[in-house]
Amino acid sequence: MTGRGEQRRAALVQAATTLLGGAGPTAVTARAVAAQARVPLAAVSYYFDGVDDLLGEAAERLFEAYLGEATALVRDAGGRPWEETLVRVWLDPSVDGPEPGRVRSTVQQLLAAAGMASLRPALQRWDDALVRLVEEVLRQAGRDTSRTRVLLAALDGLSLARLGGIDVSRGRQLDDGDLRASLVADVRLVLDDLAPNVRVERSGVARATDVAQKSLAVGSSRPDSPT
């Protein structure tokens, strides 16, 4: 491929990425991408097997950018509450996240992408990578990770209600200001059931073991009962 050809192909991928990130997968058409990239319409079929092929590359680029931000967030948690880190990794890892408008847009786009066969492999890889990051956050917090996917599924359901403006725990309408705090509250709402504190559980087991051992020691030190 010539230098000009590489530039055109890169321009098409960038255009598709911009459309996908801005308006979702349904906005990525050959005509829209060509117009955004300012290249002839025929260039789309020349450099790609079809729109689905181009869409897949655009999705990979978006997902890589998201994962890059999320990974940096986990590595540089600082003094931030870990529940906030978890919410941002899962919903919006940007500097000012979770931002309500972006979260709503992401959810809508993911729902649309889930119905497109060409995007499912990329979605699965992205989901697996995000789950691993969330597990790392939970491990750092001393939480159990065996039910991470169940925890995240619960958060998805709670978040959809919150994004619709409904406070699940109080049954009232929310504004966007409430939404930011509510997303973190969702984590705390389901946390102890789905990701219990491993350190607390282990200390409890240790205490129970100590009590049992002391009981055995007391029992063995008693004189034999008279016959």
Tokens representing 167 are: 């406070």
DSSP state of 27: G
55-198 has which CATH code?
1.10.357
Output the pLDDT for position 54: 93
Query: 38: helix, coil or strand?
Result: coil
Position 36 scores a pLDDT of 96
Please tell me what DSSP assigns to residue 223: P
Mean pLDDT by runs of 10 across the 227 residues of the chain is: 87 94 89 96 94 91 92 87 88 80 79 84 90 94 93 83 66 60 80 83 45 48 48
Whole-number pLDDT of residue 44: 95
Q: What is the pLDDT of residue 145?
A: 95
Q: What's the pTM?
A: 0.74
CA angle 120, 135, 66 (to 5 degrees): 50
Q: Is 71 helix (H, G, I), strand (E, B) or coil?
A: helix
Structure confidence at residue 170 (pLDDT): 60
Q: What is the pLDDT of residue 222?
A: 47
CA distance 194 to 153: 11
CA distance 49 to 180: 42
Beta bridge partners of 166: 173
User: How many CA atoms lie within 13 Å of 67's alpha carbon, on the beta-carbon side?
Assistant: 17
